[in-house]
């Protein structure tokens, strides 16, 4: 996944910011104005893509950045509940809708210069999320704090990008796809969708799952750290555990499948358990079937 280069001065600033956040997090009180200032600075860096809640090592391993998550959690602690309801004309249909949240987490404000398409219809992007130029947001969808969404990605209707989820470039999150957030515990493995991945409708990708580049996740597939994924091509089973995430290989095409239960009674009843299955790896036929219509963007 592409990452923004960070200058030496920004790195020095982030180290100072890390110390401020760690100090404020250790105090049980609200931390005062310095804590709120540190949260504001952190959210600004996250929105600019200069800081991320997860990092990719040279060997391809993804790990959470705990102090960034602590800073996000600190924002909830120091924030004050306020009325965020939109201004409406008295007596209009919208007057009955009220929104109340922490003042540290208003909506992320975009401008035309950001080059992000947000189609009218009820979508929201929360403060502290990075949304790259060229992203398309179809209504209604939601991108939560700490998330990263790369250039050229489409977040389709009723899709969720959860807190601190990492989504690469040219990804298509189809209608009703749920990319789970992992905010607590702060060192928990992030949910990562790398570049050029297609996530089908009604998919759920949660807690500690990494989908490598160019994979295709078929409609209705659910992936968690504890989900075994059966690879019919390589004749192997992919699993995550407490020490490592579930990883879907690059280019894998994953569809919903089933396997028989092992118990005698369950077998007699003909019961099967849902399980994802890799049926092939991307080829020219797959690419032609999943080509994104760039002119729509």
Which pTM value belongs to this model?
A: 0.89
Q: What is the pLDDT of residue 68?
A: 97
Q: What is the pLDDT of residue 294?
A: 62
Query: 224-279, pLDDT tens digit by residue?
Result: 999 999 999 999 999 999 889 999 999 999 999 999 988 889 888 989 999 999 99
How many C-beta neighbours within 10 Å does residue 154 have?
A: 22
> At 296, is the pLDDT very low, low, confident or very high (cuts 50, 70, 90)?
low
190: left (phi over 0), alpha (psi -120 to 50) or beta: beta
Query: 12-49, pLDDT tens digit by residue?
Result: 556 699 999 999 998 877 777 889 999 999 999 999 99
Q: What is the pLDDT of residue 4?
A: 42
By the 8 A CB rule, do 155 and 149 touch?
yes
Q: What is the pLDDT of residue 197?
A: 97
> At 98, is the pLDDT very low, low, confident or very high (cuts 50, 70, 90)?
confident
Query: 144-196, pLDDT tens digit by residue?
Result: 999 999 999 999 999 999 999 999 999 999 999 999 998 888 888 889 999 99
By the 8 A CB rule, do 45 and 14 touch?
yes
Q: What is the pLDDT of residue 171?
A: 97
Q: What's the gap between Cα 179 and its chain centre?
A: 5
How many C-beta neighbours within 10 Å does residue 141 have?
A: 26
C-alpha span between 259 and 205 (Å, rounded): 20
C-alpha span between 203 and 173 (Å, rounded): 9
C-alpha span between 37 and 43 (Å, rounded): 10
Fold of 8-82: 1.10.166
> At 290, is the pLDDT very low, low, confident or very high (cuts 50, 70, 90)?
confident
By the 8 A CB rule, do 204 and 159 touch?
no
By the 8 A CB rule, do 167 and 153 touch?
yes
Query: Of 153, 113, 151, which Cα lies nearest the Cα of 137?
Result: 153
């Amino acid at each position: 996944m592409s990452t923004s280069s960070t200058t030496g001065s920004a790195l020095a600033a982030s180290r100072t910011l890390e110390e401020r956040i760690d100090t404020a997090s250790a105090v049980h009180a609200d931390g005062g104005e310095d804590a709120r200032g540190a949260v504001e600075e952190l959210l600004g860096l996250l929105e600019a893509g200069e800081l991320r809640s997860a990092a990719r090592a040279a060997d391809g391993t993804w790990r959470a950045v705990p102090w960034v998550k602590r800073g996000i959690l600190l924002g909830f602690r120091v924030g004050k509940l306020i009325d965020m309801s939109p201004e409406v004309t008295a007596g209009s249909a919208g007057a009955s809708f009220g929104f109340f949240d922490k003042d540290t987490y208003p909506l992320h404000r975009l401008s035309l210069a950001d080059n992000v398409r947000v189609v009218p219809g009820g979508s929201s992007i929360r403060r502290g999320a990075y949304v790259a130029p060229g992203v398309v947001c179809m209504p209604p969808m939601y991108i939560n704090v700490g998330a990263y969404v790369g250039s050229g990605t489409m977040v389709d209707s009723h899709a969720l990008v959860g807190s601190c989820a990492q989504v690469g470039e040219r990804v298509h999150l189809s209608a009703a796809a749920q990319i789970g957030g992992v905010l607590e515990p702060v060192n928990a493995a992030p949910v990562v969708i790398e570049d050029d991945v297609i996530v089908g409708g009604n998919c759920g990708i949660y807690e500690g799952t990494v989908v490598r580049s160019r994979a295709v996740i078929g409609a209705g597939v659910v992936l968690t750290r504890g989900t075994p994924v059966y690879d019919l091509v390589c004749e192997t089973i992919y699993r995550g555990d407490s020490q490592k995430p579930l990883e879907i290989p690059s280019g894998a095409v994953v569809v919903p499948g089933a396997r028989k239960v092992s118990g005698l009674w369950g077998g007699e009843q003909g019961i099967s358990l849902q399980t994802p299955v890799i049926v092939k790896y991307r080829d020219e036929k797959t690419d032609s079937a999943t080509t994104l219509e760039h002119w729509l963007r």
